[in-house]
Structure formats: structure tokens, C-alpha cells
Amino acid sequence: IGRACCSRLAEAGASVVVADVDEVAAGETATMVGARASAVRADVREPGSMRTLADHVLRSAGRLDVWVNAAGIYPATPVLDLDDDAWDEVLEVNLRGTFIGAREAARVMAAGRSGGVIVNVSSTAAYRVGGAGVAHYVASKFGVRGLTQSLAVELGPHRIRVLAVAPTVTLTPGLEAQRERLEGAGFSLDELGPDLPLGRVAVADDVARVVLFCASDLSLMMTGSTLLVDGGELT
């Protein structure tokens, strides 16, 4: 999803800094996006890393207009087998990482006095409880939705808009890697698509298109909302 967002934002004219804990993956994405993109290593679990990233964007581009918090993990673990470390890992990446990224982006945006947009990636899991094995994931995504609302209220006076997108199941390499574990927890990827009103699950570009809308002036009077990219799942 992050890679697709980079591509769509660059296509719309943005200069993109691709940040990933996997420096090789970041470089691959920047190469795919083209001349408008550069790559750096960053870890959402480390506040210093996020602060360095925000400062890097300011130094290299002169301003920071849009920040997308797209890092997330989705391990499937039944609650009776869910130990403290596994719980902490998901909340640390999905929720704490989103907060740290948003805080550091807002710090730079507020200092620049030109406003900006922060887009968080939540999930339809922020609206309903999914299948077994995702208690930590569901908790983190409910948290992202609430965090988005709180940030919108507090950052509005700085002309910083904060929105979130909530995708349905989205086919990504990371999700495919979890297929066996998810199905073991009773969650079938193959069965979900035909059950949705639009008849399919999402692909990354479906989400990226909505992120682009959030980042653009087309959503100028929107903040605090979480936009569903769910193929009708919640209906």
C-alpha cells in the first residue's frame, strides 16, 4: 500500500521520499517511482528515526506537505497463544508508530506555518471485529481511527488536516505471506472477495487513489474522518 501511495503521489506531481525499515525495499520503490523519488531507511518504532526522517524531508525538499503513515503488520495469533511480546510488537508498529510519525510530521508542518496533510492507514477492522487471531491488530486499528480524530482536533489550528483510510482486505505480498496462518485462524482470503458487494478484495492501488484524494485540495474541508475503501464490506 505504501509503495502504491508513493507512485500515485509522484504521478500527481509530488516529490516523494520513500521510507522503509528495509532499505533495499525502499530503494526498489524509489526506482519504480522514478526521478521524483528518493529512498531512506526509517523505523517507525524509533522516535529518533522518525524525527531524522522529517528533518531530512525538510532539508532536501524545503517543505513537508504530505505525510502518509502506511507501516503495518498483520500477524495472526489466537488470543490464547498471544503472548505479551507479540501484542506489544503489533501495537508498537501499527499504533505507536503512527503516532510518532504523525507527531514528527506535524512538528515540521507547524513550524513551517504552511499547513499540511497527514494520512493514516487504518482498516475496516477499526469498525468491526474480524475473525479469530487478530485481537492485537483490531485493537491497533481502532486506535489509529481514534488517534486520527484527536490529531485532527489538535492540529486543525495549525492548518494541518489529518485523515485516515480504512481498507478492506488488500492483496499485498505481506498478506500473502500470512495466508496459511490466517486460514488456520479461520480467515479465508479466497472466500471474502465474492462476498463483498463489489465482488473482489482490494489491490494496493485502490487504497492509494483514496490517499491521493485525502492529500489533495479536493478534500480541503475534510479532517478527522476515516474513509472506507472497503468494496462495500461494512454494508
Q: Which amino acids are annotated catalytic?
A: 137
State residue 74 phi and psi, 5-degree precision: -140, 60
Please provide the distance, in angstroms rounded to a whole number, between the alpha carbons at the two ends of the chain. 23
Specify which residues 121 forms β-bridges with: 165
Q: At what angle do helices 135-155 and 84-91 cross, to 10 degrees?
A: 30
- The most distant pair of C-alpha atoms in the chain lies apart, rounded to whole Å, by 50
**C-alpha 129 chain-centroid distance:** 19
Q: Which DSSP string do the residues of 57-103 spell out, in sequence order? A: HHHHHS---EEEE---------GGG--HHHHHHHHIIIIIHHHHHHH
- For 115-130, b where at least 16 C-beta lie within 10 A, e where not — what string? ebbbbbbbbbbbbeeb
Of 204, 212, 207, nearest in space to 228 by CA: 207
